[in-house]
Amino acid sequence: MKNKVILFGKEQDNIFELVQKYGFKIVKKNPDFIIIFGGDGTIIHSEVKYPGIPKIILKNSRICKLCSSLENSKVLEKIKLGKYKIEDYWKLTSRVKNKKFLSMNDVIVHNGDPRHAIRYKFTINGKQTSHEIIGDGVVIATPLGSTGYYRSITDSFFEVGIGLAFNNSTERSDHMILKEDSKIELEITRGPAVVFTDNHNDKVVLEMGNKILIEKSTKVARIVKV
């Protein structure tokens, strides 16, 4: 029986007794599951710290796309009885300046100085786009991430593919949706720009000529569903 868990979240002490009540063993390492007490941001942060380990989500936020509609006690009860499945959510891999990041939600390229737009161009599957894009930046999102920052820019979301949302740009369209296996290269032609990925603490500053490579990863986030 898989019952070893690590608790994750700023208010994790509030679920300590509840988790123990349903027979889970709280450990510090080598868990079978990570039990998250929080919302979307906490889920993403947990995947950065514990990649690939199945996540049980107990709701502690009104903003939680992956949370069950059931009470937290019912979620734990069903899992303990084996009435659950594990769903995989693919990630994006981004490579920039000899660093590699994995993202459940999105990769964000933003102007480093809010007073000035950045300029950049794309190569998609080896084919360069015909023009330079000017704006505040771009969000490259997974389907899961499309309900976040991507949606605030485009007022839309998607379920298949990789989405590009152009932030305050001169583009006629504010977004594109590419096939899931697309390979994307973005080159800064006027910076500075800053790259953020999910809840990674690191950020990368890009200047003119710097590139970032983005594609679907073979790694997945694993979420327990009841």
Q: Tell me the per-residue pLDDT of 163-213, one tens digit each, with 9 for 90 and over.
A: 999 999 987 778 999 999 999 999 999 999 999 999 788 889 999 999 999
User: If you average pLDDT over every residue of the chain, what do you get?
Assistant: 93
Look up 40 and say whether it is catalytic: yes
pLDDT at 144 over 80: yes
Query: Considering the domain 4-83 in this protein, what is its CATH number?
Result: 3.40.50.10330
Instruction: Give the single-character DSSP code of 149.
Output: H
State residue 203's pLDDT score: 87
Q: Are strands 175-178 and 162-167 parallel, antiparallel or unpaired?
A: antiparallel
- 140 neighbors 178 (Cβ within 8 angstroms): no
Residue 197: name the closest of 89, 105, 63, 96 by CA. 105
**Residue that is written with structure tokens 């594609």 in the block:** 215
**Amino acid sitting at position 198:** D
Burial class (CB in 10 A: 0-12, 13-18, 19+), 48: middle
Asked if the model's pLDDT at residue 129 lies above 90, the reply is: no
| CATH 3.40.50.10330 residue window(s) in the chain | 4-83
pTM: 0.90
Cis bond leading into 51, ω under 30°? no
CATH topology for 91-218? Tumour Suppressor Smad4 (2.60.200)
For the record, the structure tokens of 4 come out as 């070893």
According to CATH, where is 2.60.200.30 located in the chain? Answer: 91-218
Summarised one tens digit per residue, pLDDT across range 13-66 is 999 999 999 999 999 999 999 999 988 889 999 999 999 999 999 998 777 888
How confident is residue 1, by pLDDT bands cut at 50, 70 and 90? low
Which pLDDT band, with edges at 50, 70 and 90, does 157 fall under? very high
Contacts of 100 (CB under 8 A, 6+ apart): 93, 94
Q: Is 202 exposed, middle or buried (0-12, 13-18, 19+ CB in 10 A)?
A: exposed
Residue 54 to residue 145: CA distance in whole angstroms: 19
| 3 state DSSP class of 152 | helix
pLDDT, one tens digit per residue, over 68-110 is 899 999 999 999 999 999 999 999 999 999 999 999 999 999 9
The catalytic position among 40, 113, 155, 174 is 40
Say what the pLDDT of residue 131 is. Answer: 84
Pair of tokens at residue 136:
């505040």
